[in-house]
Amino acid sequence: MIITMKKDASAKELERLREGFDEKGLRVNVIEGEEYNVWGIVGDTAHINDRDILANRCVANVQRVSAPYKLANRMFHPEDTVVDVGGVKVGGTSPIVVIGGPCSVENRDMICRIGEEVRECGAQMIRGGAYKPRTSPYAFQGLGYEGILDMAEARNRTGLPIVSELMSADKIDEFVENVDLIQIGARNMQNFDLLKAVGHVNKPILLKRGMSATIEEWIMSAEYIMASGNPNVILCERGIRTFEKYTRNTMDLAVVPIIKERTHLPIIIDPSHATGDWKLIESVSLAAVAAGADGLIIEVHDHPDQAWSDGAQCLKPEKFQELIRKCRKVAEAVGRQM
Ligand code: PEP
Ligand code: MN
């Protein structure tokens, strides 16, 4: 961390600031310039908030040299993290995974039927929401616990691990008991109490990017989970909010190489929520595989026009199967198995 001091900083103010760093076990290297004095702070500055330093009247500017995240940082953990989801490996050199299923569980037969269909198409996991974060309080809110039990039945019938979204920490036991991969949705990416709660469980977490979150904020949310003791985090890009209206969100594909460079965590792509349009899902999926994503999570419904949520961004099973076939060719071209 580099701190530039104001020209008129008093000796007393500087001394107080310096004592604060000493108490934290940090070293201060002072460079006396013609115009300004600059301090180089050496040591673990992860616990220091830049804005708290700026609150000192003697400080003109604060600049970080290293990222504020430690556990997620590739610098301190050069090898890729591979997350095991009920026997399916995600990340590193593992084959690219595909997760398919409806936005919401509608009933037991439906999720078991679609689960079997996505398995036949080549998916390795089933998705399905039982607790749904809907913009309108009048929209379908999900089947709740019944939906979680329906998902568990789909796993029993297909043998595939299941993914579902947890919205509130009071349901955590239900999820730990029944769900293989616990999803934290875009709207809860900065629900810090929820992040800490899933940091205490022994289940992998799928952390979606918040719709207006910077990459650093997103990684810091992964850091919350990891700092609470759970190292098994898979990141999921699901599009961010921009001025563009032709798509539901804007797919930020550059995050794939950025996340790979800065962190050691696996990253998967959700082209359904990123585009909001089933016609765009295939192109975005092919691009995601080419960019180095470790997996895809795609909404699939056998009757999208009758889906209880997100029908417009669901693929029919035939299209989903065709997409997987095409993605395998791209995977091969970029040296990945799928
Ligand atoms: C979902 O996966 O159904 C969902 C609501 O996703 P997101 O949190 O990305 O909007
Ligand atoms: Mn959805």
What is the average pLDDT across 165-171?
A: 98
What CA–CA distance (Å, rounded) separates 160 from 122?
11
102 in contact with ligand 1, CB cutoff 6 A: no
pLDDT digits (tens, 9 = 90+) for 84-127: 999 999 999 999 999 999 999 999 999 999 999 999 999 999 99
Residue ID of nearest Cα to ligand 1 atom 3: 103
**Nearest CA among 315, 319, 297, 295 for reference residue 307:** 315
pLDDT digits (tens, 9 = 90+) for 204-233: 999 999 999 999 999 999 999 999 999 999
Q: What spacing in Å lies between the alpha carbon of 103 and ligand 2's midpoint?
A: 4
The band of 333, judged by pLDDT with boundaries at 50, 70 and 90, is very high
Nearest ligand 1 atom to the CA of 270 is 9
What is the average pLDDT across 265-292?
A: 98
CB 58 within 8 A of CB 5: yes
Q: What is the predicted pLDDT for the residue at 7?
A: 87
| Closest ligand to Cα 249 | 1
Residue 263's DSSP bridge partners are 73
pLDDT, the chain, mean: 97
245 CB-near residues (< 8 Å, 6+ apart): none
98 in contact with ligand 1, CB cutoff 6 A: no
What is the average pLDDT across 122-133?
A: 98
238 in contact with ligand 1, CB cutoff 6 A: yes
What is the average pLDDT across 38-60?
A: 92
186 in contact with ligand 1, CB cutoff 6 A: yes
Provide the CB-side half-sphere exposure for 112 (13 A, CA): 10
Q: What is the predicted pLDDT for the residue at 35?
A: 82
Q: What is the predicted pLDDT for the residue at 123?
A: 98
What is the average pLDDT across 191-200?
A: 98
pLDDT over 90 (residue 192): yes
139 in contact with ligand 1, CB cutoff 6 A: no
Q: What is the predicted pLDDT for the residue at 47?
A: 87
What CA–CA distance (Å, rounded) separates 325 from 175?
32
* Residue in the block written with tokens 């996991």: 125
Q: Which residues of 274-305 are buried (b: 16+ CB within 10 A; e: fewer)?
A: bbbebebbbebbbbbbbbbbbbbbbbbbeebe
pLDDT over 90 (residue 189): yes
pTM for this predicted structure? 0.94
Residue ID of nearest Cα to ligand 1 atom 10: 186
101 in contact with ligand 1, CB cutoff 6 A: no
What is the average pLDDT across 13-37?
A: 92
Q: What is the predicted pLDDT for the residue at 265?
A: 98
